[in-house]
Chain A
Amino acid sequence: EVQLVESGGGLVQPGGSLRLSCAASGFTFSSYWMSWVRQAPGKGLEWVANIKQDGSEKYYVDSVKGRFTISRDNAKNSLYLQMNSLRAEDTAVYYCARHTPTGTTHYYFDYWGQGTLVTVSS
């Protein structure tokens, strides 16, 4: 059974940092692109970042470029999101999600974690 379990969320002050983790199991983690997708309270879904199977390619939504860094450790079946210079508008539930094996350019998300809440507030 595919499982994705996020951790690391919490309350942080504006300008602070947080590192999210996602532990994957039930599939060959190193064979899949992975993404982080977030959802602000009561709002819709927003893709944040993704990373290629071997970590050689990474992409970000414009609003987090230069502040967030996605990474992975295939030996530990884990995905990470380092979030720096956090802003109030980064407050959201952050989900890790597995890409469908439909290629690099065109993809959907076939498995999601339960999410971890990040609250940026003073």
Chain B
Amino acid sequence: DIQMTQSPSSVSASVGDRVTITCRASQGISSWLAWYQQKPGKAPKLLIYAASSLQSGVPSRFSGSGSGTDFTLTISSLQPEDFATYYCQQANSFPVTFGGGTKVEIK
């Protein structure tokens, strides 16, 4: 199985900050990568798919980049509603696997 490693595991930031989260795959996955946001007690929400495509309805302050093994999720200007845990997911090969998550906390 492909292992997905996220860093950092948590980050403290203030409203208005630029936040970058990294996801690394244990082998190349082309651009088959998604990012999800999960708030406590809620289901995950798809933000980005195919590494850089914004899901419908997701604010443009979210962006994704990367290919191969290294990917990033960037929040350009952190908003109060963005405090949550973020997960990456590879869709290159069976079984799909997720990263361990990055918690974005209020500084």
Contacts and interface: CB of A to CB of B under 8 A. Distances in A.
Interface stretch (B19-27, B43-51, B66-74): B43-51
Contacts of A107: 91, 96
Interface stretch (A11-19, A42-50, A71-79): A42-50
B52 interface: no
A47 B97 contact: yes
A29 interface: no
Interface residues of A, number: 19
Contact of A100 (B36, B43, B49): B49
A108 B43 contact: no
A114 B40 CA distance: 11
A7 to B, nearest CB: 15
Interface in A78-122: 95, 100, 102, 105-110, 112-115
Given A95-B44, A100-B46, A108-B89, 14 more contacts: A44-B98, A44-B100, A47-B96, A95-B43, A105-B93, A106-B32, A107-B91, A107-B96, A109-B34, A109-B46, A112-B43, A112-B44, A114-B42, A115-B43
